[in-house]
Chain A
């Protein structure tokens, strides 16, 4: 009788233990799969439309062409509105940016360590815009599995303004559908909604809608004419190129 109980307990412990590890592994694997979906293209070019929507619903639209190589080099070149046409932003590794203002005919280097600042009037912070794999920056935990999505909680491994991010990852295709950002008081402060479509062999984030819940302000980043792996080289991401 005793042995029976003991056996049951041991089995239970082993079961729970394996469950835990399975869970951890699962969450991490899922997140890695998401990173793969998001960051596997070698490069990307396309058109980006940035729609800023304030709390009264008023819209402001900016357009730019985007080039990106790997996950740490990116060039934005604005085409509209006309007053901002020609402005170009080059992001390089180690938080260095170069900005080119055609009216001045020169570029300046902007080094920013304040990553919680928003990028060019959008609701995306520099932190959000960074395309480092999530599995590098966050620990993950599977909260629940729903019909279509895995719900995973991310907690930062490094310094961050967020206390956690809750992400819904599509079960079949492993792209994120919703990300909810929480501040250190555990209040949801931002929310990103993703829409993906398939372009070539990759899943493409056709639209990301980021809402700042405190300011009641929204930014939609819409990608079109996306092309992958066109063979961009490091030379396409230099200050000289910025000014062209």
Chain B
């Protein structure tokens, strides 16, 4: 170990040079950083529901649909119709837009005695401008099921303009273009934008502003706390420098391996700043502790002492992150786990190699390292730690009881935990995207796409009849307002032929009705070119987990009963994906936590060469996780794609406090053999480090409260609470257990 430390100092310039070169290299890569706000792309390919959804979205263009809602007191005014026309015309000629459907260009098909009349619902070249005309248009629109609640709200105050994008269009660029164009029209009505392309654009804007705003704040907050704790420039600069370099490397590695920034991975920098600075702090602490005349010797001694605990701390933290890889449904969560773990290891390497090298290099130029002020934290010792020691020794049972009550309450709270996978919930209540989503839900049957895919001969009467049957079944659900399929169109055309609204029994008739449908703009959205796949397109109006679950369960049962060889039915769409995601949240939470606990137990047990100490170390952290979930249950913070990460992260970071405590305890126990005295000494010495660490990490994460994305706000709050919980656990629960265990049977040093 000592030779290893000497090597580091010997090759300090090479180390510094390598770090410098790599940092410049990775820093240059960040130029190519792209943002991927498309949550669909994060769905796993090996899940049939998700892959079908992706396939249908691409093949039938359902994922590329955008919506603009125009709201006013009454839509049936010439001026407003004119505005709808303006927008429609402007969208039509926007590059990347494939088709537009609105009140002013929708086709109106009327059945007459001897045939059909196809025309525009509104003559766009001659908009109705007299009250009777407007009134009769209104009456006609509300008399037809295909318009009411589809293109116009039931109360007539809102209308929707739907558009689809070309498959190869740059969706975000088109979305931005459209928004700009509508803003430029400067119309007086209220506008709401919805649909995945526009939502993605919004999310990506939020991600950008989050990264730009939050990072400097986290930097500043951690710097202030470090300054207050260490009152030394190096104590501030070095931890931030290494954490900053770790961030740059990690982002650089992400880019080189072809990954993009997602709504989850955009917190990697924040997490790394908070977590990564800790290792350097430990190394600095240790170096300062061994202030010797011979600086080189001091560095070597410090490194020898600190290397193992720091490696352990980083390893356990990395395990916390890695544990996501095995349970997560979304690929972006897996990626987050992998890259944060990589970042943690980078921070570790830097703190062991780069920090001593840099200090050694600097101390040649600067005669003196800034002194680490030992007495500075006496206030902390006198006001907090000393009374704490007294309390713990006087009332160990009360302390334990208090913890037990807390834990029982929390266990009760865990039963109240809700899950949330609704994308609109990710935005703050006053965010325009969220408001839009609510307007869509209220007036136009929501924006959660539902697809039922039918694989079979699309011109066979049986398949088309099954589609109609399925649509009837779907519409029994109060959250399904409208369904659309090629079977509907065949029925309509059959009606136009004067045979009534039904599917003909004769295949030849269907084939000839197809002649009337061929080339209709909507056809590629409903049926594949080879006529072997047809889909029912619909929207689900509710985002309530229960209603979504009931619907998908009902549908899956129906499909099981009706799907067969000649007509294979499958359900997909956002509700199905939400159900999967929802189930996976709980499952992945459980599996990643279990994995993390076992790994941590093994590592800590091996480190102390005692399973019982491993168990002792994990008690505060398990208690913290229970309190965490209790808190989520009681406050109503849902388990979602970001908060699902907290448990394992809390475990990975929080275990460090217990490790520090137990290793301190071991050290002092060996010193004088008395467990009680060892406990007191440990609290008095390790206590300070734990408290400073808790405050700096928690403060770093609390900055996420300023995030624009709600799950990230919750994530920040919950990690901060976990840090306080595990810190408190390490300083109260753990000593009390040791005290009580010692009273039962003396603990002796091994």
- Decide: A187 and B93 in contact? CB cutoff 8 A: yes
**Interface 9-mer from A21-29, A106-114, A133-141, A195-203:** A106-114
Complex interface: chain B residues within 8 A of A172 (CB): none
B107 CB–A CB distance under 8 Å: yes
Interface residue B119 (Cβ < 8 Å from any Cβ of A): yes
- Interface residue from A78, A110, A184 paired with B118 (Cβ < 8 Å): A110
Instruction: State which size class the interface on B falls in.
Output: 20 to 34
Whether the pair B118, A102 counts as a contact (CB closer than 8 A) is no
Contacts of A54 in B (CB 8 A): 529
Q: A56 to nearest B CB, angstroms?
A: 9
Contact of B518 among A108, A110, A120 (CB under 8 A): A120
Q: Point out which of B89, B499, B506, B519 has the most chain A C-beta atoms below 10 A from its C-beta.
A: B519
**Chain A: minimal CB distance from B572 (Å):** 24
The docked-state distance in angstroms from the alpha carbon of A186 to that of B95 is: 11
**Alpha-carbon separation in the docked complex, A74 to B515 (Å):** 18
Q: Which of A129-181 contact B (CB under 8 A)?
A: 159
Contact with B along A194-226 (1 / 0, CB 8 A): 000000000000000000001100000000000
Q: Is the CB of A101 within 8 A of B529?
A: no
* A48 contacts chain B at the CB level, 8 A cutoff: no
Distance A98 CA – B516 CA, assembled complex (angstroms): 12
Mark the stretch among B108-116, B440-448, B477-485 that contacts chain A.
Answer: B108-116
Indicate which residue in A58, A108, A159 contacts B116 across the interface (CB closer than 8 Å). A108
Give the docked Cα–Cα distance between A106 and B496 (Å). 11
Residues on the A chain within 8 Å of B98, using CB: 214-215
The reply to whether B506 and A108 contact each other, CB–CB distance below 8 Å, is no
Q: Does B610 contact A (CB under 8 A)?
A: no
Nearest residue in B to A108 (C-beta to C-beta)? B115
Besides A119-B519, A122-B519, 6 new A-B residue pairs in contact (Cβ under 8 A), listed by A number: A83-B508, A99-B516, A101-B497, A109-B114, A120-B518, A183-B92
Residues on A with C-beta less than 8 A from B373 are none
Q: Are B515 and A84 touching (Cβ within 8 A)?
A: yes
Which residue on A lies nearest to B126, using beta carbons?
A159
A111 with B95: in contact, given A121-B518, A159-B125 (CB under 8 Å)? Answer: no
16 A-B residue pairs with CB within 8 Å: A54-B529, A78-B515, A83-B512, A84-B515, A101-B515, A103-B508, A106-B498, A111-B118, A112-B117, A112-B119, A113-B119, A183-B93, A184-B89, A184-B92, A186-B93, A187-B93
1/0 contact string of B159-192 vs chain A (CB within 8 Å): 0000000100000000000000000000000000
Nearest 9 pairs of A and B residues by beta carbon = A185-B93, A121-B519, A121-B518, A109-B115, A108-B115, A83-B511, A113-B119, A103-B508, A112-B118
**Interface 1/0s, chain A 44-84, versus B by CB < 8 A?**
00000000001000100000000000000000001000011
Residue numbers in B under 8 Å from A112 (CB-CB): 117-119
Interface residues of B in 637-660 (CB under 8 A from A): none
Q: Is A230 an interface residue (CB 8 A)?
A: no
B402 at the interface (CB under 8 A from A): no
B166 and A214 contacting across the interface, CB-CB below 8 Å: yes
Interface contact B116-A117, CB-CB below 8 Å: no
Mostly, the B contact residues are mixed
Chain A residues contacting B115 (CB-CB under 8 Å) are: 98, 108-111
Residues of A within 8 Å of B55, CB to CB, are none
B509 sits at the interface (CB 8 A): yes
| Cβ contacts under 8 Å, A111 to chain B | 112, 115-119
Looking at the assembled complex, report how far the CB atom of A126 sits from the nearest CB atom of chain B, in whole angstroms: 10
Give the residue of A99, A104, A186 whose beta carbon is less than 8 angstroms from that of B499: A104
Cβ 8 A contact of A118, one of B511, B519, B529:
B519
Q: B residues engaging A (CB < 8 A)?
A: 89, 92-95, 98, 107, 112, 114-120, 125, 166, 496-499, 506, 508-509, 511-516, 518-519, 529
- The complex places the Cα of A118 from the Cα of B518 at a distance, in Å, of 9
Assembled-state Cα–Cα distance A119/B516 (Å): 9
Give the complex CA separation of A113 and B112 in angstroms: 15
Contact across chains for A103 and B120 when beta carbons are under 8 A apart: no
Give Cα distance in the complex from A117 to B92, angstroms. Answer: 15
Q: Measured between C-beta atoms, what is the minimum distance from B421 to chain A in Å? A: 35
B93 touches A103 (CB 8 A): no
Cα-based distance from A23 to B117 in the complex (angstroms): 43
How far is B76's CA from A225's CA once the two chains are assembled, in angstroms?
54
Find the A residue at minimum CB distance from B499: A104
A192 within 8 A of B: no
Q: Is the CB of A104 within 8 A of B512?
A: yes
Give the number of residue pairs across the A-B interface with Cβ within 8 Å.
87
A103 contacts B511, C-beta separation under 8 Å: yes
Q: Compute how far the CA of A121 lies from the CA of B514 in the bound complex, rounded to whole angstroms.
A: 10
Q: Is the CB of B497 within 8 A of A106?
A: yes
In Å, the complex CA distance between A217 and B107 comes to 22
Residue of B with least CB distance to A158: B125
Q: How far is the CA of A78 from the CA of B98 in the complex (A)?
A: 31
Check A113/B511 contact, CB under 8 A, given A108-B497, A185-B93, A214-B98: no
A87 within 8 A of B: yes
Chain A residues lying within 8 Å of B125, measured Cβ to Cβ, are 159
Cα A215 to Cα B61 in complex, Å, equals 13
**What's the nearest-Cβ distance from chain A to residue B117, in Å?**
5
With known contacts A101-B513, A185-B94, A108–B114 Cβ distance under 8 A: yes
How far apart are B185's CB and chain A's nearest CB, in angstroms?
Answer: 15
Bound together, the chains give a CA A103 to CA B508 distance in angstroms of: 6
Query: Contacts of A58 on B, CB cut-off 8 Å?
Result: 529
| Residue in chain B with minimal CB distance to A89 | B515
Measured between beta carbons, the chain A residues less than 8 angstroms from B514 are: 83
Q: Is the CB of A114 within 8 A of B513?
A: no
List B contacts of A108 (CB < 8 A). Answer: 114-116, 496-498
Separation of A84 and B516 alpha carbons in the complex (Å): 11
Q: How far is the CA of A187 from the CA of B91 in the complex (A)?
A: 13
Q: Cα distance A214–B119 when bound, in Å?
A: 23
Chain A residues near B166 (CB, 8 Å)? 214
What's the nearest-Cβ distance from chain A to residue B528, in Å?
12
What is the CB-to-nearest-CB distance from A135 to chain B, in angstroms, rounded to a whole number?
22
Taking the closest CB of chain A, its distance from the CB of B87, in whole angstroms, is 13
Would you call A114 and B519 a contact (CB within 8 A)?
no
Interface pair A84/B512, CB less than 8 Å apart: yes
Contact between chains at A110 and B511 (CB < 8 Å): no
Q: How far is the CA of A159 from the CA of B98 in the complex (A)?
A: 22
A87: chain B residues within 8 A (beta carbon): 512, 515
- Closest chain B residue to A111, Cβ basis: B117
> What is the CA–CA distance of A145 and B381 in the complex, to the nearest angstrom?
95
Determine if B117 and A104 form an interchain contact, defined as CB atoms under 8 angstroms apart: no
Q: Which residues of A contact B120 (CB under 8 A)?
A: 113-114
Cα of A35 to Cα of B118 in the assembled complex, Å:
29
Q: Across the two chains, which residue of chain B brings its CB closest to A112?
A: B118
Most chain B C-beta atoms within 10 Å of own C-beta, residue among A54, A98, A185: A185
How far is B506's CA from A122's CA once the two chains are assembled, in angstroms? 26
Q: Which residue of A lies closest to B523 (CB)?
A: A121
Residue of A nearest to B89 (CB): A184
Chain A hits for B498, CB < 8 A: 106, 108
Chain B nearest CB from A150 CB (Å) reads 28
A177 to B513: give the CA distance in the assembly, Å. 35
Contact with A110, one of B89, B116, B512, B513 (Cβ below 8 angstroms): B116
B-side contacts of A119, CB under 8 Å: 519
Task: For B511, list chain A residues within 8 Å (CB).
Answer: 83-84, 103
Give CA–CA (A230, B95) in the complex, Å: 48
Contact check, A103 vs B512: say whether CB atoms are below 8 A apart. yes
State how many angstroms separate the Cβ of A232 from the closest Cβ of chain B.
25
Q: In the complex the two chains form, what is the Cα distance from A58 to B531 in whole Å?
A: 14
Cα distance A37–B593 when bound, in Å?
81
Cα–Cα, bound, A214→B92 (Å): 11
Q: Which residues of B contact A110 (CB under 8 A)?
A: 115-118
Shortest Cβ distance from B348 into chain A, in angstroms? Answer: 52
Residues on A with beta carbons closer than 8 Å to the beta carbon of B513:
101
- A218 and B119 CA atoms in complex are apart in Å by 25
A105 to B94, CA, bound (A): 45
A80–B514 Cα distance when bound, in Å, is: 14
Contact A109 B518 (CB under 8 A): no
Contact of A117 among B107, B497, B499 (CB under 8 A): B107
- In the bound complex, what is the Cα–Cα distance between A230 and B331 (angstroms)? 70
Interface centre among A104, A109, A120 (most CB of B within 10 A): A104
